[in-house]
Amino acid sequence: MKIAAFDLGGTNYKAAFFENDRLTAFDQTNSLSDMPPEDTIEYILQKTREFNAEAIGISVAGAVENGTILQSPNFTNFDGFPIKKSVKRAAGIKTIVENDANCAAWAAHVIYKKERLLFMTLGTGVGGGIIYDNHLISGGVSAEIGHMTILPSGPRCHCGNRGCVESLIGGWAIRRELERMGYHISVKELFKASEHDRRLRKFVMRLGEYLGIAIASASNLFSPELIILGGKISLSFDYFSAATIRSFSRRVFKRLNKTPIINSGIDHAELVGAKLLAERIPNISKDEKYD
């Protein structure tokens, strides 16, 4: 089966083309999230036609229900947009749309074979995906870990709230804080620079502490067997893992404080998950869960 998978992120749009289980092509472009939704639809259709796909899987940074983007803090024109209906009507092939972290969580579930799993994406924004008893928790505002409040008097988030996880450790929030501190470096450069700058080192440790609080709060809800981190910032986890594990262990129930916290090790997990979900379309009825 030929499947076109798309990851619509706040910084980049990615497209991957799969034939059965083989990745045959990959494309990346700057995000079109500040453009009219029609431009995004055209991008998807163009790439789908190039590949002559039989099905489409779309991963979106935002809350999704029945193929409609309910709200996306990192997009400007997509709230309430029925992206699945629009793409399916224009492309004329099977289409599925899911939250990006949910897609990544499903990919991890298939690969790691855990019944209960927490996946957190650390990139421009912060997302969450939960597998519980082999089911993907999906629909509406689900597993939005990035928008849990952990610092009530904290900075303003793109969602309008204050003190969200994302407003403290999301890529855009880190850049904002670096500028406030007088540093003109990228998020990627931050971690290397922290090896020689005590002020930056303290900042990185604080990021790790906030991440540990978020993971512990989520874990106390459903006892995951495995916690997986994805996204570009997770590639630098070694720099703040000690602070994260320490913060997590202090706040989680004792029987959970040995839960493994790992990097996903899955290249483009959101795209892989979108592809895996698209493969299941023939078996999913309107009201059925992914199980």
Residue 278, both tokens: 């698209």
Domain with residue 22: its CATH number is 3.30.420.40
Q: What is the pLDDT of residues 87-143, one digit of tens each?
A: 999 999 999 999 999 999 999 999 999 999 999 999 988 999 999 999 999 877 888
- The interaxial angle of helices 241-251 and 198-222, nearest 10 deg, is 40
Check pLDDT > 90 for residue 11. Answer: no
Residue 78: domain span:
2-103+268-283
Residues 128, 211: one domain? yes
Check pLDDT > 60 for residue 260. Answer: yes
| φ/ψ of residue 123, rounded to 5 | -145, -140
DSSP E strand stretches across 199-246: 226-230
Residues 118, 45: one domain? no
Confidence of residue 290 (pLDDT cuts 50, 70, 90): very low
pLDDT for position 283: 44
Each residue of 180-212: b (16+ CB within 10 Å) or e? eeebeeebeebbebbeeeeebbebbbbbbbbbb
8-state DSSP, 10 = S
Q: Which residue has the higher pLDDT, 257 or 289?
A: 257
Provide the residue type at 185 as one letter: I
Confidence of residue 284 (pLDDT cuts 50, 70, 90): very low
| φ/ψ of residue 117, rounded to 5 | -150, 140
Give me the mean pLDDT over the 226-254 stretch: 96
Q: What is the pLDDT of residues 261-270, one digit of tens each?
A: 999 989 899 9
CA distance 258 to 201: 25
pLDDT for position 53: 94
CA distance 157 to 96: 29
Rg (CA), the chain: 19
User: pTM of whole model > 0.95?
Assistant: no
Check pLDDT > 90 for residue 195. Answer: yes
Residues 141, 69: one domain? no
Burial class (CB in 10 A: 0-12, 13-18, 19+), 90: middle
Residues 119, 66: one domain? no
Q: Are the CB atoms for 13 and 43 separated by under 8 Å?
A: yes
Residues 217, 195: one domain? yes
- The count of domains in the chain is 2
Give me the mean pLDDT over the 68-76 stretch: 79
Q: What is the mean pLDDT of the chain?
A: 92
Residues 96, 136: one domain? no
Check pLDDT > 60 for residue 69. Answer: yes
- Strand 55-60 to 94-99 pairing: parallel
8-state DSSP, 185 = -
Lowest-confidence region among 58-62, 92-96, 225-229 = 58-62
CA distance 53 to 130: 29
Q: Which three-class secondary structure state does DSSP give residue 132? A: strand
Residues 77, 136: one domain? no
Lowest-confidence region among 76-80, 148-152, 170-174 = 76-80
Q: Is residue 289 part of a domain?
A: no
CA distance 120 to 248: 14
Q: Is residue 290 part of a domain?
A: no
- CA distance readout (Å), 139 to 158, 167, 287, 289: 21, 23, 11, 9
DSSP E strand stretches across 154-217: none
Which contiguous run of DSSP H or E holds residue 120? strand 117-122
pLDDT for position 282: 60
Check pLDDT > 70 for residue 74. Answer: no
Provide the residue type at 212 as one letter: G
Q: Is residue 291 part of a domain?
A: no
Percent of the chain with pLDDT over 90: 78
Q: What is the pLDDT of residues 244-259, one digit of tens each?
A: 999 999 999 999 999 9
Q: Are the CB atoms for 190 and 176 separated by under 8 Å?
A: no
Q: Which three-class secondary structure state does DSSP give residue 62? A: coil
